[in-house]
């Protein structure tokens, strides 16, 4: 009865079927604790698409107690709140103990589309808070909410966001801000750093238990494998290679690719000072706190590989070092293959030609030298008229150096001549892979300012709607596809959230 209603997306909050398999792991994996109450919570945003994943009826968001529940003031029946422990390499330095310092896992809600961890981010201090206050600010909660749903709509694996609950409780960052709790959803929140914790403590039995848990719950196809742990590493490498290729292709910069922010499921997780590249710069650093550019855009593929080494090392109690090494060697080719395939599609090529990689590099050089808008360039490229005398004025306008553009356009035209289809067919294909709308920093900032200064949450909704169909033309929403206005030049995002 309940199951059927969950499938219809019709269950009430009290009817959510909670389980917490993570909570059945040994006590060394977490600390059970309740969220810290948040004064006078109110609903800021609710995402019916995420609610549908767990079968929750969208009308439930209108309940007077919805905000109380999703800031952790009131616990749903069956939830089993806990903070998970992990470790991780932060900016290349191993930190032996981290953990959910401000996130509390309520448990897994089972819906028609599998089981989803429901985690309250910003729900108060935990034993892993270190010097932190256990809170999240409204600004960063809106940023995570919008980005995770934008990434999902772009087809990039990510955690999801169910709701934001706000409170006027002050939270001190560089300035005084107000508190919020984001309800995050993912099939699992296990990180590379979770393995690193037990491995560095030489608690090898826990490394095995965690690997078994991950395989059992999330990689069931490996249960019968001859070398399940090695296969697990291989799967994580494969998923990570693909994920990073997707990030690079869409121009997403994570900003803090520490190993505790790397998902064992290959999801984009822990949105902080992220950014979508606007004016193209290969070495773009989106995180203002990243002085050395360790996590610059063009470093992401290598950093992911480095992070996978950390994971492999943590798995050494379970696998042979040579096998781990050869698994890691596969990463680069896998990444390159995914990236080139994605970029070929963005360039509108249905065939593979030997010089494609070189043409791609030269295209990126053209963009880099001109600081051309990455998203606008590729969207505009869909309209490229391949006739020899075509002006392609809109594209041409993106480049101050006319000669460099003309030389490139000539090569691009020659390459298109090797394709069979007509321009219109190519455009239709390109529009399905070159988004018109990405979450530009200033768009998020506009929604944040309206929410923080005027308690106006309509812009969050509007932006979510636009970003949920990034490949559609949406002519009425043209303003959301425009480059940043001058005031946005002063925006900077940092680790503070």
Residues that bind ligand AMP (CB under 6 A): 98-102, 128-129, 132-135, 256, 258, 261, 270, 272
Looking at the Cβ atoms of 109 and 262, the one nearer to ligand AMP is 262
Shortest Å distance, C-beta 84 to Mg ion: 11
CA distances from 484 to 67, 142, 145, 276, 279 (A): 34, 19, 21, 12, 10
Looking at the Cβ atoms of 15 and 100, the one nearer to ligand AMP is 100
Phi, psi (degrees; rounded to nearest 5) at 96: -65, -25
In Å, how far from its chain's centre is CA 189?
13
Looking at the Cβ atoms of 261 and 441, the one nearer to Mg ion is 261
Looking at the Cβ atoms of 92 and 114, the one nearer to ligand AMP is 92
Q: Binding of Mg ion at residue 441 (CB under 5 A)?
A: no
Looking at the Cβ atoms of 77 and 132, the one nearer to ligand AMP is 132
Shortest Å distance, C-beta 374 to ligand AMP: 25
Q: Which does 72 bind (CB under 5 to 8 A by kind): Mg ion, ligand AMP, none?
A: none
Q: Binding of Mg ion at residue 196 (CB under 5 A)?
A: no
What b/e readout covers 8-46, taking b as 16+ CB neighbours within 10 angstroms?
A: ebbbebebbbbebebbebeeebbbebebbebeebbbbbb
14 and 76 Cβ atoms separated by less than 8 Å: yes
Q: Which does 98 bind (CB under 5 to 8 A by kind): ligand AMP, Mg ion, none?
A: ligand AMP
Count helices and strands (H / E) in the chain.
16, 12
264 and 233 Cβ atoms separated by less than 8 Å: no
Report the sign of the C-alpha dihedral through residues 212, 182, 301, 249, in that order: positive
Q: Among the candidate windows 122-130, 181-189, 255-263, 375-383, which touches Mg ion by CB under 5 A?
A: 255-263
Q: Under rule CB under 5 A, how many of the chain's residues touch Mg ion?
A: 2
Q: Binding of Mg ion at residue 497 (CB under 5 A)?
A: no
Q: Binding of Mg ion at residue 459 (CB under 5 A)?
A: no
Integer Cα distance of 31 and 422 in angstroms = 60
Looking at the Cβ atoms of 99 and 228, the one nearer to ligand AMP is 99
Looking at the Cβ atoms of 15 and 270, the one nearer to ligand AMP is 270
Q: Binding of Mg ion at residue 80 (CB under 5 A)?
A: no
Q: Which does 140 bind (CB under 5 to 8 A by kind): ligand AMP, Mg ion, none?
A: none
Shortest Å distance, C-beta 262 to ligand AMP: 11
CB atoms within 10 A of CB 401: 12
Integer Cα distance of 108 and 22 in angstroms = 9
Q: Binding of Mg ion at residue 278 (CB under 5 A)?
A: no
Q: Binding of Mg ion at residue 270 (CB under 5 A)?
A: yes
**Alpha-helical runs (H) found in 11-65:** 48-53
Shortest Å distance, C-beta 330 to ligand AMP: 28
Q: Binding of Mg ion at residue 144 (CB under 5 A)?
A: no
20 and 105 Cβ atoms separated by less than 8 Å: yes
Looking at the Cβ atoms of 198 and 280, the one nearer to Mg ion is 198
Q: Which of 261, 307, 375, 446 binds Mg ion (CB under 5 A)?
A: 261
Q: Which does 293 bind (CB under 5 to 8 A by kind): Mg ion, ligand AMP, none?
A: none
Q: Which does 54 bind (CB under 5 to 8 A by kind): Mg ion, ligand AMP, none?
A: none
Burial status of residue 218 (CB atoms within 10 A of its CB: 0-12, 13-18, 19 or more): middle
Integer Cα distance of 11 and 186 in angstroms = 19
Shortest Å distance, C-beta 176 to Mg ion: 23
Quick one: which of 323, 117, 157, 116 has its CA closest to 225?
323
Shortest Å distance, C-beta 84 to ligand AMP: 10
Shortest Å distance, C-beta 393 to ligand AMP: 44
240 and 304 Cβ atoms separated by less than 8 Å: yes
Q: Which residues contact 452 (CB under 8 A, 6 or more apart)?
A: 138, 139, 177, 178
Looking at the Cβ atoms of 89 and 242, the one nearer to ligand AMP is 89
Integer Cα distance of 160 and 146 in angstroms = 10
Shortest Å distance, C-beta 118 to ligand AMP: 17
Q: Among the candidate windows 9-17, 126-134, 139-147, 254-262, which touches Mg ion by CB under 5 A?
A: 254-262
Q: Which does 272 bind (CB under 5 to 8 A by kind): ligand AMP, Mg ion, none?
A: ligand AMP
Q: Among the candidate windows 2-10, 58-66, 215-223, 265-273, which touches Mg ion by CB under 5 A?
A: 265-273
Shortest Å distance, C-beta 450 to Mg ion: 27
Partner residues linked to 177 by β-bridges: 171
Q: Which does 135 bind (CB under 5 to 8 A by kind): ligand AMP, Mg ion, none?
A: ligand AMP
Indicate which residues carry an active-site annotation: 260
Partner residues linked to 167 by β-bridges: 179
Phi, psi (degrees; rounded to nearest 5) at 373: -70, 120
Q: Binding of Mg ion at residue 73 (CB under 5 A)?
A: no
207 and 201 Cβ atoms separated by less than 8 Å: no
Q: Binding of Mg ion at residue 307 (CB under 5 A)?
A: no
Binding site for Mg ion (CB under 5 A): 261, 270
């Amino acid at each position: 009865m309940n199951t059927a209603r969950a499938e219809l997306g019709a269950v009430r909050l009290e009817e959510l079927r909670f389980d917490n398999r993570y909570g059945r792991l040994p006590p060394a994996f977490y600390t059970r604790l309740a969220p810290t109450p948040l004064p006078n919570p109110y609903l800021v945003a609710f995402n019916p698409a995420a609610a549908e994943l767990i079968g929750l009826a969208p009308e439930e968001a209108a309940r007077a107690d919805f905000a109380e529940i999703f800031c952790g003031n009131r616990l749903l029946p069956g939830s089993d709140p806990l903070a998970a422990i992990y470790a991780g390499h932060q900016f290349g330095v191993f930190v032996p103990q981290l953990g959910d310092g401000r996130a509390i896992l309520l448990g897994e809600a089972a819906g028609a589309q599998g089981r989803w961890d429901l985690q309250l981010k910003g729900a108060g201090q935990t034993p892993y808070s270190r010097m932190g206050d256990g809170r999240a600010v409204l600004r960063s909660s809106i940023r995570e909410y919008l980005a995770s749903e934008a990434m999902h709509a772009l087809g990039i694996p990510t955690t999801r966001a169910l709701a934001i609950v706000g409170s006027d409780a002050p939270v001190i960052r560089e300035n005084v801000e107000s508190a919020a709790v984001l309800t995050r959803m993912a099939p699992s929140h296990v990180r590379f750093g979770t393995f690193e914790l037990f491995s560095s403590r030489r608690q090898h039995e826990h490394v095995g238990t965690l690997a078994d848990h991950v395989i059992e719950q999330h990689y069931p196809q490996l249960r019968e494998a001859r070398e399940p742990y090695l296969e697990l590493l291989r799967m994580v490498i494969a998923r990570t290679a693909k994920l990073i290729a997707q990030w690079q292709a869409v121009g997403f910069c994570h900003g803090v690719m520490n190993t505790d922010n790397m998902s064992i499921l290959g999801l984009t997780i822990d949105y902080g000072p992220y950014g979508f590249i606007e004016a193209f710069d290969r070495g773009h650093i989106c995180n203002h706190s990243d002085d050395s550019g360790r996590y610059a855009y063009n470093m992401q593929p290598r950093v992911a590989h480095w992070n996978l080494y950390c994971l492999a090392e943590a798995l050494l109690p379970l696998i042979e070092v040579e096998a781990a090494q050869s698994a890691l060697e596969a990463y680069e080719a896998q990444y390159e293959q995914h990236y080139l395939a994605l970029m070929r599609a963005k360039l509108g090529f249905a065939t593979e030609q030997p010089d494609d990689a070189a043409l791609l590099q030269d295209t990126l050089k053209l963009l880099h030298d001109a600081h051309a808008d990455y998203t606008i360039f590729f969207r505009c490229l869909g309209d490229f008229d391949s006739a020899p005398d075509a002006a392609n004025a809109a594209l041409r306008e993106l480049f101050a150096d006319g000669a460099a553009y003309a030389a490139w356009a000539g090569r691009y035209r020659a390459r298109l001549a090797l394709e069979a289809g007509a321009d219109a067919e190519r455009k239709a294909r390109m529009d399905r892979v070159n988004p018109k709308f990405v979450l530009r920093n200033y768009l998020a900032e506009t929604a944040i300012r309206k929410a923080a200064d005027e308690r106006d949450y309509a812009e969050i909704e509007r932006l979510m709607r636009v970003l949920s169909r990034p490949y559609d033309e949406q002519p009425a929403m043209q303003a959301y596809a425009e480059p940043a206005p001058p005031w946005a030049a002063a925006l900077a995002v940092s680790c503070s959230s």
